[in-house]
Amino acid sequence: MIEYPSAPDTPRSHLPFSPATRVGELIFVSGQASVDATGKIVSDSFEGEMRRSIENLRKVLETAGSDLAHVVQTRNYVRDGEDLAQFNAIYPEYFTAPYPARTTITNCLTPALRYEIECIAVVRDRQR
């Protein structure tokens, strides 16, 4: 069974995709960028956009029954290669060792975005 978990405060896009898809114990989260709850882009510094994007990811995961500690893979999109050092400095604040599997791609986003993240996670242990 495929589920599409959402809540009123889950960041949404006007584009045709779901924020998350849950199949059994796996959660697939679409790319989360620096947007508000209505999907409007919030421009900021690289750090500000990265933090907002990961907080959006956190909201989507919580709605789907998971959290950042249960992420098994991330895909990261960094618009400008010169932001990679800052990206690598901020990332461990949200994901801890042993880190999720990770792919990072640079020079790939529209000029309106500096950072985007998507992930695959597992459902939180229901005993917690």
For the chain, the structural domain boundaries read: 2-122
Cβ atoms of 115 and 46 closer than 8 Å: yes
Class of CATH domain 2-122? alpha beta
**Given this model, what pLDDT does residue 86 score?**
98
Q: Read off the pLDDT of residues 49-102 as tens digits, 9 standing for 90 and up.
A: 999 999 999 999 999 999 999 999 999 999 999 999 999 999 999 999 999 999
**The residue to which tokens 């618009």 are assigned:** 79
Q: Looking at the whole model, is its pTM more than 0.85?
A: yes
The neighbouring-strand residues paired with 28 are: 21, 120
Q: Which two tokens stand for residue 32?
A: 């989360």
**Given this model, what pLDDT does residue 126 score?**
57
